[in-house]
Structure 1
């Protein structure tokens, strides 16, 4: 819920500086940030609104901070990311990362916060973060329908010549909104970068009556090879029972299933590639 915030200059239309200090000491006013006050404790969103009041009026959220507001914040924020025009000095505040904008941009307002548009945010991340992290961003942007693929390709033309645009162009061509989590996107990228054909995300397997029975994270439908990422949710006892029934049914239906965990994904990607290549051949 949005909390009303006031700058010092607004309060001083009706209160003196001494009166403001008195209300703060009595907790009738709360100092959220230097020069910004509220009547009640602020949550994270209102803390962010207070921060934006301390920045130049041209500032807007970008990178991970904007991606979160657009609905595809799959990367940790760590800090608040904002961008300002090149002619504006970079503000220096704790927990703030300031980028100078390279391209002209008109912000969009999301819950009262100015953000770079979704397509620009996605492409900015795709060209500046590691390839490993960029793929989940693009997949999530498509999955949440924050952008369409054509929006991304159009945005790429605006970024021509900028650092990292080649990586962004390669990954936009591979992006798939069917991926349901960051690890699925990364697992698919491991296989593609390992020289294997791109697997299909979220493959439905039908029974003999043509009714969809089970869904596989990644699969090669013609070869009947399925690939699953097992996260923490698979440790639940009821989920384990379901998984065993599912594995037996898929095996009886001619599917060769291969399962990987975080240790494989983050420490042994070569083992993943070799295992899946062997299953395909």
Structure 2
């Protein structure tokens, strides 16, 4: 019986024959996780990652997209495993693995579910430097919202990356990041307005009932101008959500709020429409 993870050489040394290994894999009793590393048929994502680390050089840690996923803010989409390896390491070609050679050494790596991982700030800064702006701001907002990391910690980490590609973008986006954003589209919508030269709207603003009791919350708002911006995703098509949205919009309109609703089509296919609409409201 194989251990949770076993190298091919370990199986042979324990008395397994090559034919037995092949037979167990064919029968589904043993799973080939990566070249030379086997595990049980019920292997999970952590097992697969652990198998990959069996083949990586000493000092390798999960980072970038994979590190963010392990820390709980893996908003950036990637089907591959991203690892950071020490400079000058010899890394085997492993299908589905992206190895980033570390120009800046990883400081104080941590272990998450038994896997070596770069710290939260390192993963966030690496992604903020390397992703497109619209993806990077969503990652930073989520990082601040779901972890105990703060902007000062991100800035301190960014200072160690001076001179590397993308540092200027990361510095700007860290300053714009806001833990109150509740989804990637809200983050991207806020960045769209800022990049267009408009003031940054306030995320998730509560509007009270006039007696100090919070009643309705607006995705993005210009408080003093009473301009509200809503991102309507798929959930807003639900009849109950639709009726709630209608009641909220009517009440806010009665309180002097000018509400505008945008969808994914607006955000990703005609962003100029959003910019001109909000610019017009702010100008008048």
Partner Cα separation in structure 2 for residue 23 and residue 201 of structure 1? 55
User: What's the CA shift for 1:79?
Assistant: 1.1
User: What's the CA shift for 1:24?
Assistant: 4.1
Q: What residue is the counterpart of 2:191 in the other structure?
A: 189
Partner Cα separation in structure 2 for residue 29 and residue 206 of structure 1? 60
Q: What residue is the counterpart of 2:8 in the other structure?
A: 8
Partner Cα separation in structure 2 for residue 195 and residue 125 of structure 1? 24
Alignment length (residue pairs): 279
Contact 1:66 1:121 in 2 (8 A): yes
Q: Which runs of 5+ in 1 are unaligned?
A: none
User: What's the CA shift for 1:115?
Assistant: 1.2
Q: What residue is the counterpart of 1:174 in the other structure?
A: 176
Q: What residue is the counterpart of 2:42 in the other structure?
A: 41
Give the one of 207, 232, 235 matched to 1:233: 235
Give the one of 269, 279, 282 matched to 1:280: 282
Superposition pairs for residues 141-180 of structure 1, below 5 Å? 141-180=143-182
Query: SS of the counterpart of 1:123?
Result: helix
User: What's the CA shift for 1:21?
Assistant: 4.3
User: Per the alignment, do residues 28 and 218 of structure 1 end up closer, same or farther by CA in structure 2, a change over 3 Å counting?
Assistant: closer
Query: SS of the counterpart of 2:32?
Result: strand
Q: Which runs of 5+ in 2 are unaligned?
A: none
Q: Does 1:60 align with 2:61?
A: yes
Structure 1, 133-142 or 15-24: larger mean CA deviation: 15-24
Partner Cα separation in structure 1 for residue 208 and residue 140 of structure 2? 29
Q: What residue is the counterpart of 1:209 in the other structure?
A: 211
Contact 2:80 2:98 in 1 (8 A): yes
Q: CA RMSD in A?
A: 1.7
Partner Cα separation in structure 2 for residue 53 and residue 162 of structure 1? 30
Q: What residue is the counterpart of 1:78 in the other structure?
A: 79
User: What's the CA shift for 1:31?
Assistant: 2.7
Contact 1:4 1:38 in 2 (8 A): yes
Give the one of 266, 276, 281 matched to 1:264: 266
User: What's the CA shift for 1:228?
Assistant: 0.6
Contact 2:82 2:98 in 1 (8 A): yes
Q: What residue is the counterpart of 2:111 in the other structure?
A: 109
Query: SS of the counterpart of 1:217?
Result: strand
User: What's the CA shift for 1:26?
Assistant: 5.0
Query: SS of the counterpart of 1:49?
Result: helix
Q: TM-score, structure 2 length as denominator? A: 0.93
Query: SS of the counterpart of 1:82?
Result: strand
Q: TM-score, structure 1 length as denominator? A: 0.94
Partner Cα separation in structure 1 for residue 234 and residue 223 of structure 2? 26
Q: What residue is the counterpart of 1:96 in the other structure?
A: 97
